[in-house]
Homo-oligomer: A and B are copies of this chain.
């Protein structure tokens, strides 16, 4: 909210100089709101992989982020309905919106079955996943059966499974339109690709985004506080506006994961940076 509650503020501003109109004019221009972006900010659950659930909630409240992509460290894949309801309720009470589950790796038909049942029981409408290539047709069958989206996650040069968005696209482009991409801009960059180009090129299948910054555009690149690395975040936000992206941008912060205070500060700086970029 920028100089908002504008009526209040406009009346609170007493012109310093005479009735030359300058201040009134300037103030009015400045109180004009930037229209909000169509995309939101979240956190990708792997960020909290080393912390107890209560600490994850505490950090999300501190940094003021209310959307979470929940990883299975707080909700094992074999959980029953009771367990799932109880964990989802813990986030709901904290006013945190679990908008998806994942990243869920699927290495067998049973794992695909389980993933969709798990997501159904949790009441989400999308899975972020990485099924083995040979399981993609089964995943598509499940997507239709459950009316649930899947956003396949790219993992860069670390993993032969879906190194980049182009590989995901090539595998799903002729499939059900609920088959999509979770574009991880860090792994995209580490794989030598440009996240802006991938976002724009595959726009209609980008269902979720993991935001982060990295130190290098190679396999050796590591997560760093957003704004300190090599990814051009302002350009990326411009691309998201261009394609009218309407999903989440969830921070996946893979640094200082075992130290709650440092992790919290790194998340805070990164979220602050992304909000600052979005403010323009």
Contact = CB atoms under 8 A, between A and B. Distances in A.
Contacts of A26: 194, 196-197
Contacts of A218: 12
Contact of A232 (B2, B231, B270): B2
Contacts of A279: 227, 233-234, 273, 276-277
Nearest to A227: B275
Contact of A273 (B9, B194, B275): B275
Interface string A232-269: 11110000000000000000000000001110111111
B277 A30 contact: no
A16 B166 contact: yes
Contacts of A8: 217
A5 interface: yes
A95 to B, nearest CB: 16
A185 interface: no
A91 interface: no
Interface in A12-71: 12-14, 16, 22-23, 26-27, 30, 34, 62-64
A16 B193 contact: yes
Given A217-B12, A235-B30, A230 B2 contact: yes
Nearest to A275: B227
A271 interface: yes
B166 A272 contact: no
Nearest to A1: B230
A194 to B, nearest CB: 6
A226 interface: yes
Contacts of A230: 1-5, 9
Interface of A: 1-5, 8-9, 12-14, 16, 22-23, 26-27, 30, 34, 62-64, 164, 166, 192-194, 196-197, 217-218, 225-235, 260-262, 264-280
Q: 4 nearest interchain CB pairs? A: A276-B276, A272-B272, A269-B272, A272-B273
Given A13-B193, A26-B196, 6 more contacts: A1-B230, A16-B166, A16-B197, A265-B267, A273-B275, A274-B276
